[in-house]
Amino acid sequence: MIENNYNKDLERKIDLYINGGLSRDEVDDLWAELVQNEYYLDYMKTVVNVKAVIDRQKTAKPASRVYKLKTYMKYVSAAAVLIVAGVIGIVNYNGSNNLGIEPVADIGLDVVRSADGVSDDVTNEVIKKAIQLATSGNVEEAMSLLKEELNTTEKPKEVAEIALSLGSIQYNYGEYESALESFNLIIKQEGIDNLTLEKGYWFLGNTYFQLDRLEFAEEAFQNAYDLNGAYSRIAKTYVEALKKVAS
| Residues 205-218: tens digit of each pLDDT | 999 999 999 999 99
Closest CA relative to residue 80, chosen from 114, 44, 126, 39: 44
| Structural contact between residues 199 and 86, judged by C-beta atoms closer than 8 angstroms | yes
CATH of 2-246, one of 1.25.40.10, 1.10.150.110, 3.40.50.2300, 3.90.1150.10: 1.25.40.10
Residue 86 pLDDT greater than 70, yes or no: no
pLDDT band at 34 (very low <50, low <70, confident <90, very high): confident
Averaged pLDDT for residues 22-48: 72
| Separation CA 225–CA 177 (nearest Å) | 23
| Separation CA 80–CA 231 (nearest Å) | 10
Averaged pLDDT for residues 94-102: 57
| Structural contact between residues 206 and 217, judged by C-beta atoms closer than 8 angstroms | yes
The DSSP letter of residue 78 is G
| Structural contact between residues 183 and 207, judged by C-beta atoms closer than 8 angstroms | yes
Structure confidence at residue 245 (pLDDT): 77
pLDDT for 176-224, tens place per residue? 999 999 999 999 999 999 999 999 999 999 999 999 999 999 999 999 9
Residue 79 main-chain phi, psi, to 5 deg: -80, 0
| Separation CA 140–CA 219 (nearest Å) | 31
Give the whole-number percent of the chain exceeding pLDDT 90: 41
pLDDT for 102-149, tens place per residue? 898 888 776 433 444 444 455 688 998 998 898 888 999 999 999 999
Averaged pLDDT for residues 235-241: 92
Q: What pTM value is reported for the model? A: 0.63
If one counts every other C-beta atom within 10 angstroms of the C-beta of residue 16, the result is: 15
Burial (CB < 10 A; 0-12, 13-18, 19+), residue 36, is middle
Q: Specify the higher pLDDT residue, 30 or 40.
A: 30
